[in-house]
Amino acid sequence: MSSRPLTRVGAAVAAGLGVMALASVPAAARPLHIAIKHRFGHPPTTSQCLKTLGIACYNPAQFQRAYDMGPLYSAGLNGTGKTIVIVDSFGSPTIESDLKTFDSEQGLPAPPSFRIITPAGPIPKFDPGNATMVGWAEETSLDVEYAHTMAPGANILLVETPVAETEGVTGFPQIIASENFVINHHLGDVISQSFGATEETFPNVASLLDLRSAYKNALRNHVSVLASSGDFGATDAELNGVSLYAHRVVGWPTSDPLVTAIGGTQLHLTDNGTRTAPDNVWNDTELLHSPAASGGGQSHVFPRPDYQNSVQSVVGDARGIPDVSLSAAVNGGANVYLGFTGSGITPGWYVFGGTSESSPLFSGVVAVADQAAGHDLGLLNPALYAIGDGAGSGLVDITLGNNSVSFRQHDKTHHVVGFEAVPGYDMASGLGTVDGAKLVAQLQALPHH
């Protein structure tokens, strides 16, 4: 996943799109997300995106319908009384006005509360010429707008940190300190993280394990923690943030057993949000001529947690990811409003993909489930694996697609063979995707410990 916000920026011209996925600067200098660099003045419809870009794009109402959130909203379950915590380096200089524009044009209510805190110290002034800052600003809008989409009644707390997270340890001390601040002061119920670093880029295992305090703290305080599974399929970035490993790797914190790993799918929707085909594993590698697929595989740090004993035949002795998957495809991306200027961006609407989208989407489902249960659910993974993806489950099995990727590097073509979606759990899609109404009911019915 190569650290930085976890949607991925394609460095090459996307052939069929005729547009560049963000500016051509080293990957290490910016967040890891895929943003199609075509500005719309208003939120485009799916039909308009297909006509203009040759790819599908979706708006909030389509996601709400696709994930069956309507029955919950009708019952007054929209996240009221709960707070979603979004963590991003630097944040965005226009996020408050961006969210207002997003809500106004999408017909959404404002969140009851939207706050920004900087517990790790003051944020450097936004530099529109700094690709890293611009990338994090984009990430911030994506995260905030789509967490709000799924739980329009929840409060949103944006936690900004002053050091960009890249590969290895860099940026994580400030993130972990900030998350501990949030947990210690009981400021949130679910934390969404759209970033990560390849496990192998840490100096040693101890340096990674030393950063786990916030997740242990969250476990004690019944706070749910989510993380995007990555955007390079079965591989991920090396320490330089540019090169990719030529073999299977995964990133952290998504590989942490105390975190729910959120992978990526591709939705196929009409303009009103009706599915025209089953969801499949997100893999836009051919479309973008660059690795762009849902992260998944076995941790090289963490052994299999007890809650994955039921899928031991798939994950072996290691922690396997993802746990669940939601929308992350570029061809089927989310329409995001950006209000700042920088690195080729001017205020307007842009199409985003990557698992940076799937984590905030699921955070909204979790906030609604917390409200329905009348208490915070905390670590979700034992419950998710207990529910499983059988008939009638709120976890809908994904059986199409894979997260294999190919790429040219050092004058050689590499093929990293990933994992196929098959009936039951797999390391391309996890337990599958979400039927919000059913899953919330199943989580609500579980015994409260």
- Residue 3 counted as domain residue: no
How much is the pLDDT for 92?
A: 97
Backbone angles phi, psi at 149, to 5 degrees: -55, -45
- Of the two residues 25 and 310, the one the predictor is more confident about is 310
CATH of residue 273's domain is 3.40.50.200
Furthest C-alpha separation in the chain: 58
- Residue 157 counted as domain residue: yes
Nearest residue to 348 via CA among 24, 98, 92: 98
- Residue 6 counted as domain residue: no
How much is the pLDDT for 119?
A: 98
- Residue 104 counted as domain residue: yes
How many domains is the chain built from? 1
Percent of the chain scoring above 70 in pLDDT: 93
Instruction: Give one word for 54, left, alpha or beta, with left for phi > 0 and alpha for psi -120 to 50.
Output: left
Alpha helices in 56-160 (DSSP H): 60-66, 70-74, 95-106, 131-150
- Residue 18 counted as domain residue: yes
Q: What is the mean pLDDT of residues 135-146?
A: 96
Domain that holds residue 191: 13-445
SS3 82: coil
Give the chain's mean pLDDT.
Answer: 92
The CA distance from 100 to 37, in Å, is 22
Q: In the structure, what pLDDT confidence band is assigned to residue 241 with cuts at 50, 70 and 90?
A: confident
C-alpha dist (Å) from residue 275 to 269, 272, 279, 400: 5, 9, 8, 15
SS3 40: strand
To the nearest 10 degrees (0 to 180), the angle between helices 131-150 and 95-106 is 40
How much is the pLDDT for 10?
A: 37
- Residue 8 counted as domain residue: no
Lowest pLDDT segment from 21-25, 82-86, 321-325: 21-25
Is 182 in contact with 125 (CB distance < 8 Å)? no
Q: In the structure, what pLDDT confidence band is assigned to residue 19 with cuts at 50, 70 and 90?
A: very low
The CA distance from 368 to 316, in Å, is 33
- Residue 5 counted as domain residue: no
- Residue 233 counted as domain residue: yes
Whether the per-residue pLDDT at 23 is higher than 60: the answer is: no
Q: In the structure, what pLDDT confidence band is assigned to residue 446 with cuts at 50, 70 and 90?
A: confident
How much is the pLDDT for 156?
A: 98
Whether the per-residue pLDDT at 128 is higher than 60: the answer is: yes
